[in-house]
Amino acid sequence: MLSIFKSLRHRNFAIYFAGMLFSLVGAWIQQVAMGWLVYNLTNSVFILSLSVFLGQIPALFFTPFAGVVADRFDRRKILIVTQVCMMCLSFALAFVALSGEVNINAILALCFVSGIVFSFDAPARQSLYSKLVPPSDLSNAIALNSTAINGTRFIGPAIGGALIASVGEGICFLINAFCYLAILFSLYMIKISPSRGSAGSGAMRDIAEGFAYIRDMRPIRLVITILMVFSFFGLPFAMLMPAFAKGELGGGSQTLGNLMSCVGCGALAAALYLAARKSVLGLGRVIVLSGMLFGASLVAISFVRSPACAYLICVPIGFGMVAVAASCNTMLQSLVDDSKRGRVMSVFTMSFFGVPPIGSILQGWISSFAGLPAVTACCGLVCIFAFAVFEFRRKKISSQARKIYAQKGLIMPEMARALQQSTR
């Protein structure tokens, strides 16, 4: 049991983890408040999906540059700057929401600016873990990160739903702004050597070099590809959940908070399962099975009109969502060369955060005339098919991934050779 938390024995990671936990509660409170505020103001699935689109689409364009920045400069200092910016944006959201006359255009503009800041925050954050723990504990640290995100997903939305009903969305934004102080304090307290790379030969050339590296590394390319498909067809459901809660289940803000908390419950279970794993071996199979579970759950929830049944189905949705994303993250972090880590993780960020808004805006538009349940069911079927194809392709390149694991000391070379011979 204690092995689940083995990364916390490292001082820097323990300090960072504590600050992140506190900050994440505020982030989830703000997310549920944002979705409810936008949908309540407009009663439009399209505008709701547009707010998500504007908040995440910058990741599609800015993260390649952010990856170069993360590889060249001190990642800890990058995070301090981005977190201060995010705190200021939360104060701005609180001011708009508490002003008495909420302007939807101002809300959408702040969503877009937040997306730009996040585009630089995420690659630096993902790349920082290799500085906080040794390589042998990296997969556990990533899994604990997912545990924190999804443990607070279980708590934050429920608190957010209750706060919306009692004090309104503006107070939720204000609470999140103050929660950023926790992560800023932890970033100040950790002591690591500056992660500053070479100046390189130009940003565009460095970006091209990163994409060429992904293209030539078949295991990395395959993981990025399935993550993009999953993000386009599967993840938009989480973004359109306010419309599902109100339009299909006939509920209010508390129903939305409960749905998100149930997703968080499944997500937390997935994160704890991954944290308890002792090796990176077998993560490909975890991705396949979890992705298919997620797709089947999307199909199932599209037929549900009872909040109680929807709550139950949201648990495997959350499990599949996090098991796929965290396993992909761990595989990429385990396979990538450290000199390319920032750029590869920027593509991970682009895939996981930049692609869903495109799917969200498209699904929101189609839902306006075809209905959200029909769109959700079709996307679930696509996910099932995509992960079946991934399983077929994965078996052809698994030996290459094992060789890299062996070279990095993540598995014994003898084990890699034995596994390769057993699959012939």
Mean pLDDT of the chain: 85
pTM of the entire predicted model? 0.78
Sign of CA dihedral 258, 263, 264, 266: positive
The per-residue pLDDT for 408 is 67
- Asked whether the predicted pLDDT for residue 200 surpasses 70, the reply is no
Per residue in 17-26, pLDDT (tens digit) is 999 998 999 9
pLDDT class for 424, splitting at 50, 70, 90? Answer: very low
* Residue 9: C-alpha distances to residues 2, 14, 148, 190 (Å): 10, 7, 16, 14
pLDDT class for 422, splitting at 50, 70, 90? Answer: very low
Per residue in 39-53, pLDDT (tens digit) is 888 888 778 878 878
Tokens of 255: 């129903």
- Report the pLDDT averaged over residues 193-220: 77
- Domains, the chain, in order of start with CATH, read 2-189+203-422 (1.20.1250.20)
For residues 275 and 2, give the distance between their C-alpha atoms in angstroms, rounded to a whole number: 10
pLDDT class for 328, splitting at 50, 70, 90? Answer: very high
- Asked whether the predicted pLDDT for residue 421 surpasses 80, the reply is no
For residues 367 and 361, give the distance between their C-alpha atoms in angstroms, rounded to a whole number: 10
Per residue in 77-128, pLDDT (tens digit) is 999 999 999 999 999 999 998 987 788 999 999 999 999 999 999 888 888 8
Per residue in 57-75, pLDDT (tens digit) is 888 888 888 888 888 888 8
